[in-house]
Amino acid sequence: MKTDPEAFIRANTSLMAPPHVPEISLHLASEAHELWLKTEEELEAIGLPPPFWAFAWAGGQGLARYILDHPEMLRGKRVLDFASGSGLVGIAAMMAGAREVMACDIDPWAEAAVRLNARANGVSLGFTGADLIGQAVDADMLLAGDVFYDSAFATALVPWLSRLAAGGKSVLVGDPGRSYLPRDRLEFCAVYQVPVTRALEDSEIKKTTVWRFVP
C-alpha cells in the first residue's frame, strides 16, 4: 500500500448523506468521474484498487433503507455485512439495533473507509479482510448489497448463501437488477427507487429490490 488510506479518503471524499438513506453520513466521492474514472495506471501508482467504498451503490442504499425501516429484524442480532465497501449497510444495521456487526471486504482500503464512516455515525463496526466465501459464518444474519454484478463472483456466492440460509441464517441482499441475480433462490421483501450517481450507472434512478434467500 503506497498511500495512507485514511489520509487519502479524507482528501478525496466529502462527508455526505446518500440520497435514499439521509440518516447516515459517509465519506463519498463528490465527483464520481474524478476518482472512479482514473486509469489503471493512475490507481496502481497510488496503490489503490477500484474504489467501490467511495460510492453509495444502489443495492446498498436499498438494503440500508429496508433495515432502518424494519429495525425489529435486527434487534439483538449478530450481523455480517458482506462485501461491505463503505460500510453503509453495516452502519444501518447498528443504528437499527444489531448487537454487533462485522464488516467484511477483501479490499484493504475498505477497512479505513468503514472505520471513518462508522466513527462519523457514532457506531462501532468490526472488520475482517478475510475471504469468507464458502466458510461458516458466526452471525445470525448476513447482509449483502449489490454483489451479483459478475458471473464468476455470483457463481461462488449463490451456493454459499443458499447453504447459510438452509442452515438457519437470515440472508438479505439488495440488488438493482444486476445480470447474475439468482431470482429462483430469492423471496421478495421490498422495492425502492434509488437515486444514484449517473457517472457510474445507466440511469439516475435505479429500481432496487431487497430479497431474502430461501432455504
Quote the pLDDT of residue 78: 98
- Who contacts 72 (Cβ-Cβ below 8 Å, separation ≥6)? none
Q: How far apart are CA 104 and CA 96, in angstroms?
A: 19
User: CB of 215 within 8 A of CB of 199?
Assistant: no
Cα dihedral 101/52/40/31 (nearest 10): -140
Average pLDDT value for the chain? 91
- Who contacts 106 (Cβ-Cβ below 8 Å, separation ≥6)? 129, 130, 131
In the structure, what pLDDT confidence band is assigned to residue 142 with cuts at 50, 70 and 90?
very high
pLDDT in tens, 5-44: 899 899 889 999 999 999 999 999 875 556 666 656 776 7
Residue type, 151: S
Average of per-residue pLDDT across 75-87:
97
